[in-house]
Amino acid sequence: MENNTSMSLLDHQKALIVNQLTQTKELLNQLQFGVDVTSTTVKLLLPRILSSFKSSLSMLSGINSEAGFQVTGLSPSSVIRSPRSNSNLNGNPSKKRKTLPSWTEQVRACERSGLEEPVYDGYSWRKYGHKDIYGANHPRGYYRCTHKNSQGCLATKQVQRTDTDTSIFSVMYLGRHTCIQASHLQPGQPQKKLEQLDKKQKRKSQETLIDFQTGGHVNTKDFNTTQAVLRSPSFSCPSASIPIPCQEKESNTNIFSSQLTPDNHFMSSPLSSPSTSGSNSIFSPYRVNNIEGGHDLQTSDYDLCEFESALPLALDSSDLYLDWDWDSFDGFCF
């Protein structure tokens, strides 16, 4: 039983990685051959590409351990459910979506007071419930995909602050996105979304209103790896003049700005909308799965650096030049 489980899990992981990389390749093709390679589009795509690679690399690292996707936070239970063992949020299993894959992420938010909202992860979510959880200090928010009705997308997520660190959200994703969210590829929509979010945040947290354009604090941890690759002010320091320390790099926190779904759908981060006036940093999601001392994170980072150095990006303030050789990629880290 367990052996079969391990085998199927491994196969599943491999399949995820392949799909993830395939999707990444498609994104790169969009950059390479896309007609509309505007700077905004590029800025949207690149973080997704990087995130996709990071997720893939993380999974590869995780495969080495019996625990599976430890690095990405994608627990084995997300693939094969085990009753009562699927302790995602406070150890309580989902009671209704048992057939849907689930996984948990822990995401740090750059806090503003009174914020109880989920991290913007690139998808549009609509809150449909809010519940005080027995034994938990903080209520749990229930979100479903905005496109549930229009496209029948069944993806949901549950967001809850952790008891130990209120700046960290535990986000449990249920189901994968079957919707096509134009915001992922079209520059205008996420920007609009983020602008709305920003306005909302400003409304809600007046006493701690921090204007990013005037040097407010931004949690930049999740920018690190992106910056390492992009090395371009137009990417790492968006036009909105968000004060991002481009040279700064923390070594012991693994940062992934995207979220990987079990079906290789990854979720781009708000980082992908650099033209937004700082709202993309209201929440700065990054994985904190290594809170207690991470697993394989150094390896993952190392591999990522290898990838980054192999990625022949030449950027200037407005254009992206991609000369990606997939034959080279074939030999990369595998």
CB 274 within 8 A of CB 46: no
Residues 29-88 that bind DNA (CB under 7 A): 83
Among 64, 127, 166, 245, binds DNA (CB under 7 A): 127
Among 135, 207, 214, 293, binds DNA (CB under 7 A): 135
CB 266 within 8 A of CB 260: yes
> Among the candidate windows 142-150, 205-213, 217-225, 253-261, which touches DNA by CB under 7 A?
142-150
Q: Strand, coil or helix: what is 169? A: strand
Distances (CA, A) of 7 to 13, 99, 268, 269, 305: 10, 20, 30, 32, 30
- Closest of 285, 287, 289, 274 to residue 241, by C-alpha: 274
> Among the candidate windows 131-139, 228-236, 244-252, 298-306, which touches DNA by CB under 7 A?
131-139
Q: Please count the residues of this chain forming the interface with DNA, following the rule CB under 7 A.
A: 35
Asked if 177 is part of the footprint of DNA (rule: CB under 7 A), the reply reads no
Beta-strand (E) ranges in the chain? Answer: 102-108, 125-131, 140-145, 156-161, 168-174, 259-260, 266-267, 313-315, 320-322
Among 30, 156, 183, 259, binds DNA (CB under 7 A): 156
Residues 248-307 that bind DNA (CB under 7 A): none
Residue 29 or 87 having the CB closest to DNA? 87
Residue 202 beta carbon to DNA: minimum distance, rounded to whole angstroms: 9
Asked if 217 is part of the footprint of DNA (rule: CB under 7 A), the reply reads no
Among 174, 179, 242, 246, binds DNA (CB under 7 A): 174
Residue 3 or 95 having the CB closest to DNA? 95
Residue 92 or 298 having the CB closest to DNA? 92
Q: Phi/psi at 196 (nearest 5 deg)?
A: -65, -40
Asked if 96 is part of the footprint of DNA (rule: CB under 7 A), the reply reads yes
Residue 14 or 127 having the CB closest to DNA? 127
Evaluate the CA torsion angle 151, 98, 257, 127 in order and state its sign: positive
| Residue 306 CB partners (closer than 8 Å, separation 6+) | 332, 333
| Number of C-beta neighbours around residue 80 at 10 A | 16
Please name the amino acid found at residue 76: P
Residue 265 beta carbon to DNA: minimum distance, rounded to whole angstroms: 19
Binding pattern for the stretch 194-213 against DNA, x by CB under 7 A and - elsewhere: --x--xx--x----------
Binding region for DNA (CB under 7 A) = 83, 89-90, 92-97, 116, 124-136, 140-142, 144, 146, 156, 158, 174, 196, 199-200, 203
